[in-house]
Amino acid sequence: MTDFSIRPAVVGDLAVIQRVYAHHVRTGLASFEETPPDLAEMTRRWQAIAETGLPYVVAENAGGDIAGYAYAGPYRPRSAYRFTVEDSIYLDPRFQGKGLGRALLARLITDATACGKRQMIAVIGDSANLASIGVHRALGFEMTGTFKAIGLKFGRWVDTVLMQRALGEGDRATPTS
């Protein structure tokens, strides 16, 4: 991953982000969406994350190409979950297998910890997605469970794998704010 840098996503990145995500919606099981959202919707989603102060980053090569993106969003809207985030990582298929997923996830872990978050959840579409499971495991995530046959996409039932990683002090101390 020597020729890539990771930086915060900006509005000018959103057309590429939308294309990358649309590819995964149309061809893969990482997302259970079945219709790719348009640029306006992806912009709304990016703004929602940006307004929370949570990380939303892109991997960019030396030529300025966006190779993938990742973000940490609120896990659930209830206030008791305010210290927990869920990660999402999507790569342009031309750049898979170069360590970018791992680099993006490592950056999310660092940035979410700096934001005061204490737990990160991975909700991985398809129990056969060994690459995503392996990247998460390599960065300290533990398997917490599998929802069997929870989604129906491309005419087949698909599992969802749940993994979790403590951030910072995790549950060793109660946050003061």
Q: pLDDT category, 139, cuts 50, 70, 90? A: very high
Fold of 4-166: Aminopeptidase (3.40.630)
Q: What is the pLDDT of residues 66-111, one digit of tens each?
A: 999 999 999 999 999 999 999 999 999 999 999 999 999 999 999 9
- What is the pLDDT, as a whole number, of residue 152? 98
**Model-wide pTM > 0.85:** yes
pLDDT at residue 177, rounded to an integer: 73
Residue ranges of the domains in the chain? Answer: 4-166
Average pLDDT across the chain, whole number: 96
- What sign has the CA pseudo-torsion 82, 83, 86, 91? positive
The SS3 call for residue 151 is strand
pLDDT of residue 91: 97
Pairing of strands 142-153, 119-125: unpaired
The per-residue pLDDT for 136 is 98
pLDDT at 48 over 80: yes
Question: What pLDDT shows up at residue 1?
Answer: 52
Calculated CA dihedral for residues 36, 40, 41, 47, nearest 10 degrees: 140
**pLDDT at residue 122 tops 80:** yes
For 143, the token pair is: 């398997």
CA 113 to centroid of chain Cα atoms: 15
Instruction: Inform me whether the pLDDT recorded for 2 exceeds 70.
Output: no
